[in-house]
């Protein structure tokens, strides 16, 4: 389909979105996360040029831009106009690779995505990872998937100005078909963990898009930092909330202002839930894992306060449906999607039941679909 926009392209880079199964809002607290890359992706085709410009078409938006690899800091196109906001992601990735002194080549490109924007499925991380992997191929250098993710994260944090953690870029870069990815965001150790046999992942999009998501996200981060600085004098060994045990937290929680205490409690509990989840997943215990997903949602709703009525309704409805092991909001929250772990042979019934129930309760349509845990970014040469 992209041939129409860029005939004779020589490469295609495909980078998936992700769901997170457990470990929400812990990646910026050095915690462990459990995302899976999904079969929704950014596809970018490209043809190397001889100059130092990038000429890009954002096919879904019907827009295009040309920027120079030698003037990234200015955040302008070659005519001196500010880059459109979508172009900050590829340009920010280029800036980060440049900072790392990696060889950057100019190209003509066109990209499209079937990851819904603002739905908590990491559409922006997938854009960054698709571009980073393409530049890697064009430049003939090679870094591992975690490093690639870190480079993309730096672009998003410092160039685009969004203070996200490492989970989304990590999942898009390292996905493995059929597996969730256990990732320790401190040690950077990771390993694939197979999904329980007979289970499938179903995503339900509430149709609510995140508004104020950035400031609310930064506000949650600030609370975590505040909690850390108030607890540290009493627990000198801690470097992040990940290091606070539930026992220590019970002793010192009262030192924290109420809202900060609630938010820190979520992080402390969520880190324990991920630790508990790994042996359950390895034993194929879908029901046990599903209970942790439900507990996570309750905590995100009540303590961390990043849910919204529509997401809560989707989770409540899901729990009542046959074959559902677990359901919770996925990603940053404030709208977007829920992720559901469902018995494979009940999947169709579940999808119909959830759609119907949601329409009845909210008068809104939810897009509900089966997702496959998928391979991470890959770049292929086109014939
Ligand atoms: C967003 C961020 C991630 C992570 C999640 C919440 O997706 O990009 O780094 O913090 O929110 O778990």
Burial of 276 (0-12, 13-18, 19+ CB in 10 A): middle
Distance, CA 195 to ligand 1 centroid (Å)? 21
Ligand 1, CB within 6 Å, residue ranges: 24-25, 27-28, 164-165, 167-168, 331-332
117 vs 297: CA distance, rounded Å: 22
Are 54 and 66 within 8 A, CB to CB? yes
Mutate to test the pocket of ligand 1, among 165, 216, 217 (most ligand atoms within 8 A of CB): 165
Distance 333 CA to ligand 1 centre (A): 9
pLDDT of residue 1: 80
What residue owns the CA closest to ligand 1's atom 3?
165
What residues does 182 pair with on adjacent strands? 191
Question: What is the DSSP code string of 203-271?
Answer: EEE-SPPPSSHHHHHHHHHHHHHHHHHHHTTTSTT-SSGGG--HHHHHHHGGGS-HHHHHHHHHHHHHH
Residue nearest to atom 9 of ligand 1 (CA): 165
Task: Output the pLDDT for position 213.
Answer: 64
- Tell me how far the alpha carbon of residue 5 lies from the centroid of ligand 1, in angstroms: 33
- CA separation (Å) from 201 to 19, 178, 341? 9, 10, 5
Task: Kindly give the pairing relationship between strand 107-113 and strand 35-48.
Answer: antiparallel
* Start-end of H helices in 70-212: 88-99, 123-139, 145-154, 167-174
CA 122 to ligand 1: nearest atom: 7
Q: DSSP code of 51? A: S
With a cut of 50, which residues of the chain have pLDDT below it?
none
Of ligand 1's listed atoms, the one at least distance from the Cα of 167 is: 9
Report the Cα 277 to chain-centroid distance in Å.
19
What residue has token string 């005519």? 79
Give the atom of ligand 1 at the shortest distance from the alpha carbon of 165: 9
Strand partners, 203: 339, 369
- How far apart CA 118 and CA 332 sit, in angstroms, is 10
Report the alpha-carbon distance of residue 158 to residue 95 in Å, rounded: 10
**Residues catalogued as catalytic:** 168
Measure 40 CA to ligand 1 centroid, in angstroms. Answer: 18
Which residue's CA is the nearest one to ligand 1's atom 1?
Answer: 332
Q: What are phi and psi of 21, to 5 degrees?
A: -85, -35
Bridge partners of 337, per DSSP, are 205
Q: Among 156, 186, 158, which Cα is nearest to 172's?
A: 156
Distance CA 174, CA 157 (A): 20
Q: What is the pLDDT of residue 210?
A: 78
Determine the atom of ligand 1 nearest the C-alpha atom of 332: 11
Alpha helices per DSSP H over 29-144: 88-99, 123-139
Distance 45 CA to ligand 1 centre (A): 27
Q: Could you tell me the two tokens for 22?
A: 């457990």
This prediction has a pTM of 0.97
């Amino acid at each position: 389909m992209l041939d129409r926009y860029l005939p004779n392209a020589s490469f295609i880079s495909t980078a998936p979105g992700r769901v997170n199964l457990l470990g929400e809002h812990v990646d910026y607290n050095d915690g462990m996360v459990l995302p899976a890359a999904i079969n929704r992706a950014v596809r970018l085709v490209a043809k190397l040029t001889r100059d130092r410009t990038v000429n890009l078409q954002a096919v879904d938006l019907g827009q295009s831009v040309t920027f120079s690899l030698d003037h990234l800091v200015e955040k302008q196109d070659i005519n001196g106009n500010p880059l459109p906001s979508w172009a900050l992601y590829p340009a920010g990735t280029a800036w980060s690779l440049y900072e790392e002194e990696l060889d950057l080549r100019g190209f003509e490109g066109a990209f499209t995505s079937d990851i819904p924007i603002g739905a908590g499925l990491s559409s922006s991380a997938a854009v960054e990872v698709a571009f980073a992997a393409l530049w890697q191929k064009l430049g003939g250098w090679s870094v591992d998937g975690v490093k690639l993710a870190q480079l993309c994260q730096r672009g998003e944090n410092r160039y685009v100005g969004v203070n996200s953690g490492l989970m989304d870029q990590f999942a898009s870069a390292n996905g493995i078909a059929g597996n969730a990815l256990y990732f320790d965001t401190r040690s950077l150790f990771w390993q694939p963990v197979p999904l329980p046999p007979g289970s499938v992942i179903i995503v339900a999009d509430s149709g609510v898009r995140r508004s104020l998501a950035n400031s609310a996200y930064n506000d949650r981060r600030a609370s975590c930092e505040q909690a850390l600085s108030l607890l540290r004098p009493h627990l000198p060994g801690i470097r992040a909330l990940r290091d606070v045990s539930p026992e220590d937290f019970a002793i010192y929680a009262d030192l924290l202002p109420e809202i900060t205490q609630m938010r820190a409690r979520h992080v402390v509990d969520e880190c324990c839930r991920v630790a508990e989840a790994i042996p359950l997943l390895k034993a194929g215990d879908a029901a046990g894992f599903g209970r942790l997903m439900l507990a996570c949602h309750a905590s995100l709703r009540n303590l961390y306060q990043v849910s919204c009525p529509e997401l809560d309704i989707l989770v409540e409805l899901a729990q009542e449906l046959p074959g559902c092991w677990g359901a919770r909001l996925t990603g940053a929250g404030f709208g977007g999607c829920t992720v559901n772990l469902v018995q494979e042979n009940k999947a169709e019934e579940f999808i119909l039941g959830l759609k119907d129930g949601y329409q009845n309760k909210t008068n809104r349509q939810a897009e509900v679909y089966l997702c496959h845990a998928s391979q991470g970014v890959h770049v292929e040469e086109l014939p």
